[in-house]
Chain A
């Protein structure tokens, strides 16, 4: 059994209510922090823990916190990014749905550490039911004196509220999130200035992922050093992984960073192997934006090292033979899955979610989707593959926010590793059409004909 820090109590009946959560040691970290620690102590513990942002980029949280500008007389804000919309990622939803108080406890600790008196949870519009769970939990926390004025007599005030977005992936980008929270159109801002200097209402702001904020609770409880003992190298602690695709046990798992990918996919404790005894074909280890890995690069890196679930190991080999841990959306494909169709599906998502502010992403994502759709349906040419490569190259790195990169990477990786499959679609248009529209549509046809 691996050590669990976030989901340890998740199976206890009624853990989403305040009383049960409190009985199982909840809010002890707040007691400890407000009574015995100073804000700087918490920042120091988080730095020691080596916690890295769980939202995708993996930036060290302690360092991010220390960048926060602290001008005299200007309020600061902590925002929790719960706009989890990456295809393949659903870990934050699980956490907020099951143990909402863990997030609230983390918010209190982080706000105290940063000196923020008004904090917000920005949740995606599609998570309306989670919003209600959180609001209930917040009301309970207020009622029991964990939020509001003068918490535990420490003189620290904190107001916390949940704000839903309108359902835009782009609002998960921190500056777009801030714009949206201010009531504007969710377009990313130009950086610099960074949110740490000028964020929400031009005030210094820190934006952190749900899981990052929740991880502050065990760090304060057990100490940063204890947290840093878990994991390998610069990847410390535990990580929630949302596993999906052709595996026996899809779901959310908390793993210790440093677990081998092979164990994660094949052990009964986690994914439980590939469904129906099929072979694995490919894997996207960190949500739809990260490069896809072909079967021979999943469990071993190009240098024949064991591939581990860490930020470093998954990225080994750069984009040529590696990928990224990203937000932990682990998608597994078996031998029957069509990579071209999958790539088209992803690029359709990015086309739909591009905010349309800067030209490469606005025009390029739509173009890629159309070309991929054509290839998928057996109407593509060999030139189309080179064209796609060119388009993604023109998008990558030339946009305001990382959505452009996120749209370009999966296409680039699919062509890099599965070019033959793209070519097969061009040379076998009829078979390509049949196979991709697959069994479901054939059954539909049978029904219609009968």
Chain B
């Protein structure tokens, strides 16, 4: 008995690939890889329900499918639109997409404090990358920006809501990874904020992962805050014996000391194996880790631009532009 699944043929910016039915446009693009992958600020493949909110991954569907070749009238969120056989998609080759994405980036940056010089996320920030690529050099927003007080949520995590872009990733992480979610989105519209409503600390074994999933610097690691710029630290693959998680992590070292520990992220900044709080916050001694070797960071960002083992010269495009 042959169980051959009928694969769907998709063309994105002129590159064709065959994917399984049910794949989203974004994941099809990621299978092709390279320049044609739309940016995604809120989608996170391991979190159910994520995606569709930031609207940075909008693409133009210029041909619906082989059966129904009509183009879709609206731009579609590629993270939540599944592919059809024979679908043709325009990402960067579409003027509409480029314009809409510029607009979305403008909206995202409108109330963002742009405090990158003092932000711990700088260098590995997805919003920073997005702004480099699609943002304007000058803002047209002339009003007061939204501001919030910084909140301590728990022993290890600082919430700086002013920087938040409301991607909801941390809410989904807490919902799906931990036993009890104690924070969520309060209020609505541009007054919406992440919070615990009643001052509450987030303390459970896996809550530290909200720091890793945050695309901006809204949730930061208090054991690492203001210690160092990330590009001065050396990422090393490391593992340890942990009975709560896989123990596979990345340690970021300054000299011989471990400055911080994060989970291992792929080139789209997504964690595949979440790590526990113990590994993340408490194991800051090299004796506790089995260091495997330098970590190759594949992301197109400052963090990989200044590093000693560059994957390809393509990563230096930001510097070349300057």
A and B: real partners? yes
Chain A residues near B (Cβ < 8 Å): 168, 170, 185, 190, 351-360, 362-367, 370, 387, 390, 393-395, 397-400
**Residue among B103, B166, B168, B187 facing the most chain A CB atoms (10 A cut-off):** B103
A364-B103 Cα distance, complex, nearest whole Å: 10
A359:B108 contact, CB within 8 angstroms: yes
| Among B74, B99, B110, contact of A363 (Cβ-Cβ < 8 Å) | B110
Which size bracket describes the interface of B in this complex?
20 to 34
B58:A358 contact, CB within 8 angstroms: no
Which chain B residues border A395 with CB–CB below 8 Å? Answer: 103
Contacts A190-B80, A364-B107 known; A354 to B189 CB distance under 8 Å? yes
Interface members, chain B 174-192 (any A CB < 8 Å): 184-185, 187-192
B189:A362 contact, CB within 8 angstroms: yes
| Among A354, A364, A367, A397, contact of B75 (Cβ-Cβ < 8 Å) | A397
B58:A398 contact, CB within 8 angstroms: yes
Closest residue of chain A to B102 (Cβ to Cβ) is A394
List 18 extra interface pairs beyond A362-B166, A363-B111, A394-B103, CB under 8 A.
A170-B188, A185-B184, A351-B189, A354-B190, A356-B185, A356-B190, A359-B104, A359-B107, A359-B166, A360-B55, A360-B104, A362-B192, A365-B190, A367-B107, A394-B100, A398-B55, A398-B75, A398-B103
Which chain B residues border A358 with CB–CB below 8 Å? Answer: 52-55
A185:B185 contact, CB within 8 angstroms: yes
| Among A356, A365, A366, A399, contact of B166 (Cβ-Cβ < 8 Å) | A356
Which chain A residues border B74 with CB–CB below 8 Å? Answer: 397-398
A352:B189 contact, CB within 8 angstroms: yes
B interface, by DSSP: helix, strand, loop or mixed? Answer: loop
A360-B77 Cα distance, complex, nearest whole Å: 13
Which chain B residues border A399 with CB–CB below 8 Å? Answer: 55
**Which 10 pairs across A and B sit closest by C-beta, in order of nearness?**
A394-B103, A356-B192, A363-B107, A354-B189, A366-B190, A190-B52, A356-B189, A359-B107, A397-B74, A190-B80
A55-B104 Cα distance, complex, nearest whole Å: 29
B53:A359 contact, CB within 8 angstroms: yes
Which chain B residues border A370 with CB–CB below 8 Å? Answer: 143
| Among A354, A359, A363, contact of B188 (Cβ-Cβ < 8 Å) | A354
Which chain A residues border B135 with CB–CB below 8 Å? Answer: none
A395-B75 Cα distance, complex, nearest whole Å: 12
A-B contact pairs, 28 of them (CB 8 A): A354-B189, A354-B190, A356-B188, A356-B190, A358-B53, A358-B55, A359-B54, A359-B55, A359-B108, A360-B104, A360-B107, A362-B107, A362-B192, A363-B111, A365-B189, A366-B189, A370-B143, A387-B140, A390-B103, A394-B99, A394-B100, A394-B104, A394-B106, A397-B75, A398-B74, A398-B75, A398-B100, A400-B53
**Is there a chain A Cβ closer than 8 Å to B269's Cβ?**
no
A353-B107 Cα distance, complex, nearest whole Å: 17
Chain B residues near A (Cβ < 8 Å): 51-56, 58, 74-75, 77, 80, 99-100, 103-104, 106-108, 110-111, 140-141, 143, 165-166, 168, 184-185, 187-192
Contacts A387-B140, A398-B58 known; A355 to B107 CB distance under 8 Å? no
A190-B76 Cα distance, complex, nearest whole Å: 11
Which chain A residues border B184 with CB–CB below 8 Å? Answer: 185
Smallest CB separation, A149 vs chain B (Å): 37
Which chain A residues border B54 with CB–CB below 8 Å? Answer: 358-359
A366-B192 Cα distance, complex, nearest whole Å: 12
A359-B168 Cα distance, complex, nearest whole Å: 12
**Residue among B80, B104, B106, B189 facing the most chain A CB atoms (10 A cut-off):** B189
Smallest CB separation, B254 vs chain A (Å): 36
Which chain B residues border A355 with CB–CB below 8 Å? Answer: 188-189, 192
Closest residue of chain B to A359 (Cβ to Cβ) is B107
Smallest CB separation, A254 vs chain B (Å): 34
A394-B103 Cα distance, complex, nearest whole Å: 6
Which chain B residues border A367 with CB–CB below 8 Å? Answer: 107, 110, 141, 143
Which chain A residues border B111 with CB–CB below 8 Å? Answer: 363
A190-B79 Cα distance, complex, nearest whole Å: 11
A interface, by DSSP: helix, strand, loop or mixed? Answer: helix
Contacts A190-B77, A356-B190, A363-B107 known; A400 to B166 CB distance under 8 Å? no
**Residue among B54, B55, B100 facing the most chain A CB atoms (10 A cut-off):** B55
Closest residue of chain A to B79 (Cβ to Cβ) is A190
A390-B100 Cα distance, complex, nearest whole Å: 11
Which chain B residues border A170 with CB–CB below 8 Å? Answer: 188
Smallest CB separation, B141 vs chain A (Å): 6
**Residue among A351, A359, A387 facing the most chain B CB atoms (10 A cut-off):** A359
A323-B61 Cα distance, complex, nearest whole Å: 27
**Residue among B52, B75, B107, B108 facing the most chain A CB atoms (10 A cut-off):** B107
A365-B188 Cα distance, complex, nearest whole Å: 12
Closest residue of chain B to A353 (Cβ to Cβ) is B189
Which chain B residues border A359 with CB–CB below 8 Å? Answer: 53-56, 104, 107-108, 165-166
Contacts A370-B143, A398-B55, A398-B58 known; A363 to B75 CB distance under 8 Å? no
Smallest CB separation, B110 vs chain A (Å): 5
A194-B114 Cα distance, complex, nearest whole Å: 38
| Among B53, B100, B104, B191, contact of A357 (Cβ-Cβ < 8 Å) | B53
Which chain A residues border B189 with CB–CB below 8 Å? Answer: 351-356, 362, 365-366
A164-B312 Cα distance, complex, nearest whole Å: 58
Which chain A residues border B143 with CB–CB below 8 Å? Answer: 367, 370
Closest residue of chain B to A358 (Cβ to Cβ) is B53
B190:A363 contact, CB within 8 angstroms: yes
Which chain A residues border B99 with CB–CB below 8 Å? Answer: 394
Contacts A354-B190, A387-B140, A398-B75 known; A360 to B53 CB distance under 8 Å? no
Smallest CB separation, B112 vs chain A (Å): 10
Smallest CB separation, A410 vs chain B (Å): 17
A356-B164 Cα distance, complex, nearest whole Å: 12
Contacts A354-B190, A356-B188, A366-B190 known; A398 to B53 CB distance under 8 Å? no
Smallest CB separation, B39 vs chain A (Å): 13
Closest residue of chain B to A354 (Cβ to Cβ) is B189
Smallest CB separation, A264 vs chain B (Å): 32
Smallest CB separation, A353 vs chain B (Å): 7
A168:B188 contact, CB within 8 angstroms: yes
A359-B58 Cα distance, complex, nearest whole Å: 12
A360-B189 Cα distance, complex, nearest whole Å: 11
A355-B188 Cα distance, complex, nearest whole Å: 5
| Among B56, B77, B190, contact of A351 (Cβ-Cβ < 8 Å) | B190
A370-B140 Cα distance, complex, nearest whole Å: 12
Smallest CB separation, A361 vs chain B (Å): 8
Which chain B residues border A185 with CB–CB below 8 Å? Answer: 184-185
Which chain B residues border A363 with CB–CB below 8 Å? Answer: 107-108, 110-111, 190
Smallest CB separation, A392 vs chain B (Å): 10
Smallest CB separation, A396 vs chain B (Å): 9
